Every structure is written in structure tokens, then in C-alpha cells.
Amino acid sequence: MSSPSAKRQRTEHASITRSNIWYRDGSVVLQTESTQFRVHWGLLSQHSPFFRDLENIPQPPDEPTIDGCPIVELQDSAVDVEHLLTALYDPTFLSQTALPLAIVGALIRLGRKYDFKNLLDSAVARLTFQNPTTLEEYDNLIADGNYNLTRITSYPGYALDLLTLARENNLGLVLPVAYYRALICDPLQLLEGTKMSGEKLASLSVDDLYRCLIGRQKLVTKQYQPGYTLGWLREWPYTDCRNPEGCGAKRKLKFHSYMDRNTVKAFVMVPSEQRAIPGICATCHQHVTESINEGRKKMWEELPGFFDLPPWNELKNDL
Ligand SMILES: [Zn+2]
């Protein structure tokens, strides 16, 4: 946990504004950037040992107050603090199925810093749900070949921002899928950052960009190795095909179309592959099904290593 800095003093700002979170019976004023929030010690202390300790520090008599409330200055973004306080005061806030990533990020950053354990756990659970550690859980997120975001609101650049959030907060268990979801973006998008109407929305750190691009190259190479997801496209070890010429031609066509597009298909699923190779004979189809199912398990086991991460059983969230 990073060491938080909060102090009971007031810095003079040119213009200080009051947030809408301003309870007339509040007992403490939080100030960050140029925004003040009047809230209750009791609520902060109930959820955060950090604020419990801070409340118990005697207030020097000459410290400034607002309507008798001590002022606690925080070094966080006002938007993050507003999200945290909304989550504390509004019981329906966290029960929403999907939350914007900015809110999840605020709960993780401030949850770690000030030890709001319950808020932190709920936010990390959303990220873990969307970035699971087992292939079975990952497959449950896929419908008709598309990855479904249900716990976090999607937007262009989401995958890049999520990866950055997970990296900055040491969420090791989230990282393998976070890297994978980022690297299957268009490489040009990775390099230039996600843009919308000319405005830059999201981009990666140089280190993450490197890991994504190198990881992408490793994944594409590995997926065609024997025993991996698409190894059967490159080498066909079976001899029981009823129509070797026809099936062979179809496999070859498929191989070239994937190679030409340099596509990442590490976790392609059998149903979509069935549609991708229409007309292949039943015997070959059975081999393809088994090969893909076994191959994607191997890819999953090795997924963290593509990004220079420790194996699955050594990964952990460092909260
Ligand atoms: Zn065949």
C-alpha cells in the first residue's frame, strides 16, 4: 500500500468550490485540488482505518475550520474523491451491474491508499470478473465470438485504460487477460493510442506497449505450433480424411487468410471455426475440434509468459 499523505491544514487557493457532496451536519471537510466536500467522520472511520486514526489525532486549537469542521487536505483528484464519497453515501451506487472504468479506478486507487477495504474488494472483483484467471471463466464472457463487458461500461480505448489501471495498481491476476485484450486491438491503435474524432482517448506506457507488441508477435507465432490452437492448419498429422484433396485445400485457404491478416486467434472457439471452414469432412471436423480445444488450453496455460509475467500460480494482486 502506498503511504498516503493527508494533513489537517488548509492551503489557500484562489477559488475554492464546494462540491454537491456537502452535508450541513457533516463533521469534517475534505479538500483536494480546489474542491471541498463536507462529510461525516463516522462514515469515513467506519470504512477506513486510515481515517479512523486521523480522526483520533487531536486538532490543534489554531487550525482553521469551516463551521467548526476540521479541514483534511488530500492529494488526490477531486473526481476520484467524489466517486469514492458517492459510493460511501449512496447504497445503490455499487449495485449497478456496470460501472464506468473511471469510477472503478477511483475506488481502486483510493481504496488502496486509504484502506477502504470493502470498496476496494468490490472494484477489484469487477476487474477480475472481466479479466479472469481460468479459461472456463474467460469463455463465459464470450458470446458469438464477441467478448462481453457486463460489469464495466465500454468505450473506445477501454482496453488500454484498463491495462494501465491494472499495471499502476499491481493487479497481477488481472494482467494476463488485460494484456491479451489490449494486444488484439489494431497494432496501429496501440502505437498511436485510441482516438475519437481526432481526440486522443487512451494510450499505453512505453513498457506496456512493448509488452503488447512483443507478446502479440509471440502469440501469433505460437498459435501455429503443433499442439497449439491452430497448429493443425500448419501440420495435419491425420490420415483418415475421406476427401483429402478437398479438405486439404480448405485448410490451406484458411491458413493463408489468417497468415495474410496476421490475426491473433489464440483462443478462437470451435463454433466460430466451424463456420470459418464450411464443407470440411466430418472426420476432419472432429480432429479440428479436438485440436482447437486442446491447443487453446495450452495457450491459456502459457498466457502470462507471453508478457514476461510469472506463471498463473505465482501471480497475485498486490493490494
Ligand atoms: Zn477431411
Q: What is the pLDDT of residues 268-303, one digit of tens each?
A: 887 665 565 778 898 998 999 999 999 999 999 999
Distance 126 CA to ligand 1 centre (A): 44
Distance 288 CA to ligand 1 centre (A): 10
Nearest to 88 by CA among 41, 150, 33, 53: 41
pLDDT of residue 277: 74
Nearest to 43 by CA among 84, 94, 4: 84
Distance 222 CA to ligand 1 centre (A): 24
239-249 pLDDT, tens digit per residue, is 999 899 999 99
Distance 280 CA to ligand 1 centre (A): 6
41-64 pLDDT, tens digit per residue, is 999 999 999 999 999 998 888 889
Distance 284 CA to ligand 1 centre (A): 4
pLDDT of residue 2: 41
Q: Name every residue whose Cβ is closer than 8 Å to that of residue 57 and which is 6 or more positions away in sequence.
A: 8
What band does 12 get if pLDDT is binned at 50, 70 and 90? low
For residue 103, pLDDT beyond 60: yes
The DSSP element (H or E) to which 70 belongs, if any, is strand 69-74
For residue 156, pLDDT beyond 80: yes
Higher pLDDT, 268 or 307: 307
Distance 247 CA to ligand 1 centre (A): 5
Distance 139 CA to ligand 1 centre (A): 27
For residue 304, pLDDT beyond 70: yes
Distance 292 CA to ligand 1 centre (A): 16
Nearest to 317 by CA among 122, 182, 208, 174: 174
Question: Cα torsion for 147, 151, 155, 159, to the nearest 10°?
Answer: -60
Distance 279 CA to ligand 1 centre (A): 9
CB distance 193 to 148 below 8 Å:
no
Distance 274 CA to ligand 1 centre (A): 13
Distance 261 CA to ligand 1 centre (A): 25
Distance 269 CA to ligand 1 centre (A): 19
For residue 89, pLDDT beyond 90: yes
pLDDT of residue 3: 47
Distance 283 CA to ligand 1 centre (A): 6
Distance 250 CA to ligand 1 centre (A): 9
Distance 154 CA to ligand 1 centre (A): 41
Q: Which three cell numbers stand for residue 44?
A: 469515513
Distance 243 CA to ligand 1 centre (A): 5
Query: What number does CATH give the domain 6-125?
Result: 3.30.710.10
For residue 1, pLDDT beyond 50: no
Mean pLDDT of 102-129: 97
CB distance 47 to 118 below 8 Å:
yes
Q: Give the residue extent of every domain in the chain.
A: 6-125, 221-304
